[in-house]
Structure 1
Amino acid sequence: MTTAIEEKNTAFVLDALDTLFNKKDYEKAAQFWSDAYVQHSRHVPAGRDGLFGLVRSLSDIRFEYDMVIAKDDFVWVHSRYTSSATPAAMIALDILRIEDGKLVEHWDVLQDEPTRSESAGGYPMFGNTFPDEQ
């Protein structure tokens, strides 16, 4: 059962990710991320400035999600990130922690989205179709 705070945190995280990755509204996005934001990622430079710099460098990057789970101050988002800078979309499990109304910490697990012929299990990693069948 989802509590009111978990629903609020889910909406907050989805709005933050959309604002940064899709709208590229860095001024508004800064309101979501803490100045002391901690990034636990192999691919994203440290801190809020590192994240925003990466998004700026990938000007056409897009974020979408298909599943979200919230528990207390944590939100897990099953995401897809697409950009012309990479040959395949990146499928992610993003884990974000909220404290005092700001995103303060992030972890991710990332892998390239496979086509049907690349998928050992025969099922898409995101949504109901493989990227080469959309």
Structure 2
Amino acid sequence: MTANHKQLAMTAYQRIFGDLDVSAVDEYLSKDFIQHNPTIADGPKGVKQLVEMLASQGVQKQKIEFKHVVTDGDIVILHTRYEMAGDEWRFIDIYRVENDKLVEHWDAMMQMPGTRANNNPMF
């Protein structure tokens, strides 16, 4: 089942955040979606509002670069690279999957700094 969870999360993430496809939210998220990012409302509506905001701010459609994808039972962890408003970001998104839908989300994000304290890659 974890291979299905992995593919579900990656496909959903690409469609929603890479393709900025608001219609994909209803396809991949449960109607009772629980959001742990305190800046985004619960439910599919909160994610739709986020995608609409990103598009309105000029974020372009893009191919998401998945560096690490880890599954553990009903949990999928995505480590990705994303560009927003000309800046490069790294994200760690954690999803819980139930009945072939994403039902819960946690995340952490980091903008690529202009000056680095080391030469280690962020991936």
The aligned residue for residue 94 of structure 1 is 93
Which structure 2 residues correspond to residues 12-27 of structure 1 after superposition, within 5 A?
12-27=8-23
Cα 1:114–1:124 shift into 2, 3 Å? farther
The aligned residue for residue 70 of structure 1 is 71
CA distance in 2 between partners of 1:43 and 1:91 (Å): 18
CA distance in 1 between partners of 2:89 and 2:46 (Å): 19
* CA RMSD, Structure 1 to Structure 2 (Å): 1.8
Is residue 79 from structure 1 mapped to residue 76 from structure 2 by the alignment? no
Cα 1:43–1:89 shift into 2, 3 Å? farther
The amino acid that maps onto 1:109 is: A
Deviations 1:73-110 (A, max 9, x none): 100010122121xx632211110000111100000111
Contact 1:114 1:125 in 2 (8 A): no
1:36 to 18, 32, 38: 32
Q: What are structure 1's unaligned runs of at least 5 residues?
A: 127-134
Q: What are structure 2's unaligned runs of at least 5 residues?
A: none
Larger Rg: 1
How far does residue 51 in structure 1 lie from its aligned partner after superposition?
1.2
Contact 2:88 2:111 in 1 (8 A): yes
Q: How many residues align?
A: 118
Answer 1 or 2: higher relative contact order, Cα 8 Å, separation at least 6: 2
CA distance in 2 between partners of 1:79 and 1:44 (Å): 19
How far does residue 123 in structure 1 lie from its aligned partner after superposition?
1.2
How far does residue 119 in structure 1 lie from its aligned partner after superposition?
2.1
How far does residue 22 in structure 1 lie from its aligned partner after superposition?
2.0
TM-score under structure 1 length normalisation: 0.78
CA distance in 2 between partners of 1:90 and 1:39 (Å): 20
The amino acid that maps onto 2:47 is: L
Identity %: 29
CA distance in 1 between partners of 2:40 and 2:111 (Å): 16
